[in-house]
Copies of this chain bind each other. A is one copy, B any other.
Amino acid sequence: MFCPGKTPEQVVAILARLARHHTNVIATRAGADVATAVAAAGLPHAYHADARLVIVRPERGEGVGLIVVAAAGTADLPVAEEAALVAETLGNRVERVYDCGVAGLHRLLEHYDLLADANAIVAVAGMEGALPSVIGGLVDRPVIAVPTSVGYGASFGGIAALLAMLNSCAPGVSVVNIDNGYGAAHQASQINHLVAKIR
């Protein structure tokens, strides 16, 4: 569930209803006010402030397969953590490869083996958004690119990164909405489970 545009009361009501029948109910873009309301309502939950996630009735087993979440810069971490935590919550093994923007390629190259081993890669970047292209050129694995709104001026709130990712010269790169860590994790999980469950 996406929180913005709903009151904390509406969020709590929806979460409580869903949690009657489900564990691991996820609310994204949850501010402190939402977390407080969830706590006040007595719902068992975990709150990840950095990733702006509330997970109600959290329950996590051993993750299967492998998803790598790669991020370019410090300011991209909220979105990257949203993706990583959602993927873990959905039952996937997740490895994080952070702080590897294209202006410092060696940090990325160090993680080659991990990337080549993933069933799906979530690549998170703002500004010029070049990380997914570079990863897509390195390894033959599906890359789900997440542009972030990190940047200023001609970044236009993430449009520059979004366009760069849509125009990737590496094949095997698809793109989700700006800052949509949840969506990327969801699709990566679909792929990873298709692969992992039959091993």
| Interface presence of A44 (CB below 8 A) | no
Contact pattern, A 142-178, Cβ under 8 Å of B = 1, otherwise 0: 1110010111111111111111111111111111111
Given contact pairs A103-B134, A190-B140, A199-B198, A163 touches B166 in the complex (Cβ within 8 A):
no
Return the contact of A4 from the options B2, B120, B152, B169 (Cβ within 8 A).
B152
Q: How far is the CB of A5 from chain B (nearest CB, A)?
A: 4
| Interface presence of A43 (CB below 8 A) | no
- Residues of A bordering B, CB below 8 Å: 2, 4-6, 10, 14, 29, 72-75, 101-105, 119-120, 127-130, 133-134, 136-138, 140-144, 147, 149-180, 182-184, 186-187, 190-191, 194-195, 198-199
Excluding A128-B169, A143-B187, A166-B175, 19 further A-B contacts by CB distance (< 8 Å) are: A2-B75, A4-B152, A102-B102, A128-B129, A130-B164, A141-B190, A151-B167, A152-B180, A153-B158, A153-B162, A154-B159, A154-B166, A160-B166, A162-B166, A163-B164, A172-B183, A173-B187, A174-B175, A195-B195
